[in-house]
């Protein structure tokens, strides 16, 4: 653990943060929001604790990601940037030996804008981000994967189709 003077790191439930209103300058949530039963409630809680001008960064699965090169899928993804009603964004699946349901949400740019707005936050940036799946690491295809991601990331229209969606938002002043 690295210590940084005058800084505090806190790990907590996103639905009920043990913090006073308007006291947090920076909040970072990565690969977590999609597992919550009610991500909107967490977003409202993030907005509650952020001080005016405070920043929030969230990274979660991208509903716009290109899953395959099927022409219908690619067109659907392109249309989804304008209207996300064509996407299936929520998947509830059973994946544990206890047979417990886990939530997995794919978020669209429209979802992020709506959730942030309802929480009193202003979106300042939306972009796709990448996540390296173990399959690529195990099969030796990491270099090819990186070349593909670099190519897609360099094309302006296709930048929104990466594996993850990153939102930067600011609390109202």
Q: Is the pLDDT of residue 127 over 80?
A: yes
- How many CB atoms are located within 10 Å of the residue 49 CB? 19
Closest CA to 123 of 169, 162, 157: 169
Q: Point out which residues pair with 103 in neighbouring strands.
A: 92
Residue 87: pLDDT band by 50, 70, 90 thresholds? Answer: confident
Q: Is the pLDDT of residue 63 over 60?
A: yes
pLDDT at site 91: 60
pLDDT digits (tens, 9 = 90+) for 66-78: 776 778 777 888 8
H-helix or E-strand containing 40?
Answer: helix 39-49
Higher-confidence position of 149 and 96: 149
Mean pLDDT of the chain: 79
pLDDT at site 70: 74
| Euclidean distance between the first and the last CA atom of the chain, given in angstroms as a whole number | 33
pLDDT at site 120: 95
Higher-confidence position of 133 and 53: 53
Residue 12: pLDDT band by 50, 70, 90 thresholds? Answer: confident
Residues in CB range of 91: below 8 A, 6 or more apart: 104, 105, 106
pLDDT at site 10: 73
Q: Point out which residues pair with 73 in neighbouring strands.
A: none
pTM: 0.74
Q: Token pair for residue 77?
A: 């993804």
pLDDT at site 141: 62
Residues in CB range of 153: below 8 A, 6 or more apart: 128, 130, 159, 162
pLDDT digits (tens, 9 = 90+) for 88-126: 665 655 455 444 556 678 899 999 999 999 999 999 998
Asked whether the beta carbons of 40 and 115 are under 8 A apart, the reply is yes
Task: Indicate the DSSP class of residue 108.
Answer: P
Q: Is the pLDDT of residue 58 over 80?
A: yes
The full set of domains in the chain, from first to last, is 24-131+162-171 (3.40.50.150)
Task: Indicate the DSSP class of residue 7.
Answer: -
* Cα 5 to Cα 2: distance, rounded to the nearest angstrom: 10
Residue 133: pLDDT band by 50, 70, 90 thresholds? Answer: very low
């Amino acid at each position: 653990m690295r210590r940084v003077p005058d800084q505090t790191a806190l790990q907590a439930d996103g639905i009920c943060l043990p913090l006073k209103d308007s006291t947090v300058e920076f909040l970072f949530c990565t690969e977590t929001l999609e597992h919550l039963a009610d991500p909107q409630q967490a977003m409202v809680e993030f907005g509650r604790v952020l001080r005016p001008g405070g920043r929030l960064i969230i990274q979660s699965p991208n509903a716009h990601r290109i899953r395959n090169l099927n022409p219908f899928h690619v067109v659907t993804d392109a249309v989804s940037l304008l209207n996300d009603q064509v996407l299936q964004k929520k998947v509830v699946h059973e994946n544990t030996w206890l047979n417990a349901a886990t939530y997995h949400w794919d978020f669209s740019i429209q979802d992020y804008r709506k959730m942030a707005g309802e929480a009193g936050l202003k979106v300042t940036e939306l972009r796709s981000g990448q996540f390296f799946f173990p399959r690529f690491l195990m099969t030796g295809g990491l270099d090819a994967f990186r070349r593909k991601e670099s190519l897609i990331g360099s094309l302006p229209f296709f930048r929104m189709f990466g594996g993850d969606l990153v939102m930067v938002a600011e609390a109202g002043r």
